[in-house]
Amino acid sequence: MSKKFRLLTIVIALALIAALVPQTHNTVVAQDKVTVTWFVGLGTGGNDEQVAAQEAVVAEFNETVGAEKGIELVLVLVQNDVAYDTLSTLIATEDQAPDIVGPVGIRGSNSFDGNWVDMEPLAEAAGYDLGQFPPSLVDFYRVQGQGLIGLPFGVFPSMMFYNRDLFDAAGLPYPPQSYGEPYADGEEWSWDKVSELALLLTLDANGNDATSPDFDPDNIVQFGYSNQWSDARRMATFFGAADFIADDGVTAEMPENWAEFYRWLYDGIWNQHFIPNDAYVNSDLLAAGNPFSSGNVAMSQTHLWYTCCTAGVNFDLAVQPSYNGVVTAPLHADTFRILKQSQNPEAAFEVLTYLIGDASLDLLAAYGGMPARPEDRDAFLAGLNETFTQGVNWQVAIDSLNFPDNPSHESNMPNFQKADERIGAFQTLIQSTPDLDIDAEMATLISDLQAIYDEVQ
């Protein structure tokens, strides 16, 4: 009995120890193969259909290119809410760090700024042709001091979404769909013109528009314009690309065009009432936080990914309005990156080029992104046309790729998380506080940002 007991105890202890030993994902599956790990979780890629698509890509790679070149691709799926912590920890262990990370946008990759491999030498060594992508999209991934830290894969241009029914009801012509084309009245398609139309398209419960002296701002039932799931830096980019940091990389500053934008935004919300405040945005009138999809907003500036959530709205696309004659259309772009901690960067690059090459259409179909490669776009747009049968001019989205924001509104800042949170608080303040001294708040923001930047100098 005693021997049996000892044996049982040993077995239990061994089982527990075995269960607690972390599974090393860098395990070499076959002795003659190099293992490349692909970490998914920082951005999209977590829902069931996407997981299935990614697993199919991994299987296909391992059976074809992997088998030929001696590479075993392993997928590491991590829930988005713990992905940052998990990746941070894996990077800290160094030998456990994954090779490829993605899909991830600019913003998602900022937390790991400085950890990405410059792919220029890898591309040169492999003879990889960067000319297959539009140069502006390749340059989008060139970061000063870091090199080419990504290759174009999925892009999400932004432009103006407008609700045809609300324009029709107001008897107003639709906004233009070609860059350089003026509005129907012959005037420039600018943010001033957007304000002018938005006032006419904002209605109270009695049917008065926002230009009427009888307009009741406490009982608005339709808005002319709304920001759609946007942050303060992205919105300000409508008035020109810039950032809250000077060229020296250490000084916080408020670009004048951005200051002008925040004044415009505040005025539109609290004085002219054609932009909903936070209370309206979160109300049932505006689908509890998804304003344009409610059908009660005439115009929203947002990205192509918003096609996810516009079901039931008879919308079309209009070009991005200009500010002082300059058009800036914020760009979101997802791609895959290679970590500097990768043990096998050449093999990782081989896998990466497969993901953005042979597998790109399958993956982009799952992620919902527009292919960066122009010749791949037809199939993607055909899919959109099947969904949106009202007829949408997708050429507007393609043309908007010519006006990306540089620097990106998602670009890195010193002490990024803290700075980003402080900027978010500023945005909430604008959207939820009447009688605000907006200039004083901008000065406070810059002062706070400087203190946040200084923490990491």
Q: Name the site residues for another protein (rule: CB under 8 A).
A: 1-2, 5, 8-9, 12, 16, 20, 84-85, 88-89, 91-92, 94, 111, 218, 278-280, 282-285, 288, 417-418, 421, 424-425, 428-429, 432-433
* Shortest Å distance, C-beta 285 to another protein: 6
Q: Nearer to another protein by C-beta: 283 or 344?
A: 283
Q: Nearer to another protein by C-beta: 184 or 221?
A: 221
Q: Nearer to another protein by C-beta: 250 or 279?
A: 279
Q: Nearer to another protein by C-beta: 20 or 311?
A: 20
Contact between 373 and 132 under an 8 Å Cβ cutoff? The reply is: yes
* Shortest Å distance, C-beta 417 to another protein: 5
- Bridge partners of 300, per DSSP, are 161, 226
The angle formed by the CA atoms of residues 291, 293 and 297, to the nearest 5 degrees, is 55
**Residue 455 tokens, joined:** 């923490």
Half-sphere exposure of residue 215: CA atoms within 13 angstroms, side-chain side: 20
Q: Smallest Cα–Cα separation from 234: which of 169, 305, 177?
A: 305
**CA 387 – CA 371 distance, rounded (Å):** 18
Cβ contacts of 430-438, under 8 Å, gap ≥ 24? 430/232, 430/262, 430/265, 430/266, 430/269, 431/269, 431/277, 431/278, 431/281, 432/277, 432/278, 432/279, 434/270, 434/277, 435/270, 436/266, 436/270, 438/262, 438/263, 438/266
Q: Nearer to another protein by C-beta: 84 or 179?
A: 84
Q: Nearer to another protein by C-beta: 212 or 433?
A: 433
Q: Nearer to another protein by C-beta: 373 or 422?
A: 422
Query: Strand (E) positions, 176-329?
Result: 203-204, 220-227, 297-303, 315-318, 322-323, 326-327
Residue 413, Cβ density class (10 Å: 0-12 exposed, 13-18 middle, ≥19 buried) = buried
Q: Nearer to another protein by C-beta: 85 or 168?
A: 85
* Shortest Å distance, C-beta 307 to another protein: 25
Residues 6+ apart with CB under 8 A from 452: 414, 415, 418, 419, 422
Task: Measure Cα distances from 138 to 122, 156, 209 in Å.
Answer: 15, 15, 45
* Shortest Å distance, C-beta 20 to another protein: 7
* Shortest Å distance, C-beta 260 to another protein: 25
* Shortest Å distance, C-beta 64 to another protein: 36
* Shortest Å distance, C-beta 187 to another protein: 33
- Say which amino acid occupies 320: Q
Q: Strands 100-104, 34-40: parallel, antiparallel or unpaired by DSSP?
A: parallel
Q: What SS3 state is found at 270?
A: helix
How many H helices and E strands in the chain?
Answer: 18, 15
* Shortest Å distance, C-beta 280 to another protein: 6
Prior bond of 374 cis (ω within 30°): no
Q: Nearer to another protein by C-beta: 84 or 388?
A: 84
DSSP 8-state secondary structure symbol assigned to residue 339: B
Q: Nearer to another protein by C-beta: 251 or 432?
A: 432
**CA 374 – CA 370 distance, rounded (Å):** 9
- Bridge partners of 34, per DSSP, are 71
Q: Nearer to another protein by C-beta: 1 or 311?
A: 1
Contact between 163 and 298 under an 8 Å Cβ cutoff? The reply is: yes
Q: Nearer to another protein by C-beta: 92 or 184?
A: 92
